[in-house]
Amino acid sequence: MTDPSPPLPRRRYTTLPRKPQRKNGREKFETLLDALDGLLQFRETSEISLSDLSEAAGVPAASVYHFFPNREALFAALMQRHLDTMAEQHIRNGKGPSWQSRTEGFLDQLQEQLCASESVMKMRFGPAPGWAVRELLLEDRRRLGLLLLDQLDTDFELPNSPQWPERFQVALTIAEGIWSGAYGNFGRVDEFSINEAKRAVVAYLEYFFGELLPLRIREEEEALLY
């Protein structure tokens, strides 16, 4: 058996935005991101230039280029702000006795969160504006996969596998791929695609889990048995 291919080189660090240290710089930085979010309400990512942002925010072009050396850095900064906000919000798996229903509940909450913002949908579900955003999304799917894994592992006895983090990342990628296809076709994530994403993720995980997983007995519950 040959060794797996090495990971692709990371490209994001050549296009990082310059984060300001001083208060007035941070305020201007956030003003620019707010303006970009506003532009994305009625324009596609490919239609927005740094000069457009300068005009929309009422900020000199020199300041825009100081923070964002190129368009990729600009969209990466807005995506990072979105991801930071998401990380602060609590996504729980669904209610119900089965791991399938709890997985579906998790996906429902995630989809609702992602579809609450037009700018977020355009950056996550539309054409990625550069490798910087693409890598941020890959990292976030891994974070979300680990979150779902941790929640299921808290309530159920999962089979042992060192590859759960990778497999749960694949599961989240499957869901976002279906949502992205719907957004590309209809400009929204329709009910059919919402249901198909849940069905696909459950089918993928069921290949490794099987249909039934035993509930995990917690320490306090175990003590009552003796």
The structural domains of the chain, with segments of one domain joined by +, span 18-69, 84-209
pLDDT band at 4 (very low <50, low <70, confident <90, very high): very low
| 175-222: pLDDT as tens digits | 999 999 999 999 999 999 999 999 999 999 999 999 999 998 765 454
| Residue 225 clears pLDDT 70, i.e. is over it | no
CA distances from 67 to 15, 43, 58, 135 (A): 11, 22, 15, 20
> Phi/psi class of residue 121: alpha, beta or left (left: φ > 0; alpha: ψ in -120 to 50)?
alpha
Q: Which percentage of the chain shows pLDDT scores above 70?
A: 89
Average pLDDT value for residue range 46-75: 93
**What does the DSSP 8-state code read for residue 212?**
-
> Going by CATH, does the domain composed of 18-69 fall within 1.10.10.60?
yes
Return the closest-CA partner of residue 152 out of 208, 92, 203, 99.
Answer: 99
The pLDDT score that the predictor gives to residue 89 is 82
Contact call for residues 140 and 130 (beta carbons, < 8 A): no
CA 145, 143, 8 angle in degrees (round to 5)? Answer: 100
- Residues 6 or more apart whose CB falls under 8 angstroms from that of 43 comprise 52
**What does the DSSP 8-state code read for residue 12?**
G
Q: Which two tokens stand for residue 85?
A: 């906000």
| Residue 16 clears pLDDT 80, i.e. is over it | no
Q: Which two tokens stand for residue 183?
A: 């957004």
